[in-house]
Structure 1
Amino acid sequence: MAICPVCNGLREVYLMCTKCGEPMLESGRLIDFYDDYSPYMEIDLMKLEDGYPDTHSGQKCPHLYRCPACHSDEVIFIKE
């Protein structure tokens, strides 16, 4: 079973915004933003519903990164 190092606090990923160059903030798993109950659902089940076909293998965890300066969002896939 693969685990996401960012979800489990094993690693931090630092990214710079592609629009303004400021540091981006990790805002959690993308699937946690779908609806009120998504954080409580099975992770692999939510990956099937996430709309990103390359995560269906279960080897990538999509995380939302936000820029506090220009308010842009980016989805980054973390290798599990």
Structure 2
Amino acid sequence: MKRFLKAAALATAATAAFAAPMAAHSQAWPTKPVKIIVPSPPGGSPDQIARAIGQKLSIAWGQPVVVETSLALA
């Protein structure tokens, strides 16, 4: 019986040791504003679509979603 109790205690300790770091990593995402970069001129179709998607994501995530246009990436 002592052997069984020692094994059970060891298994419990090992489980707790592995579960603690995993619990620390389960945070809500996103934790800060999200940026969407659109490689096209402002006012174009890709920009309008990204802004519409950004609005929906902002509501769903509860975080601001910023859409930036950048011709340097195009």
Q: TM-score range by the shorter chain?
A: under 0.3
* More strand as a share of residues: 1
Bigger-Rg structure (1/2): 2
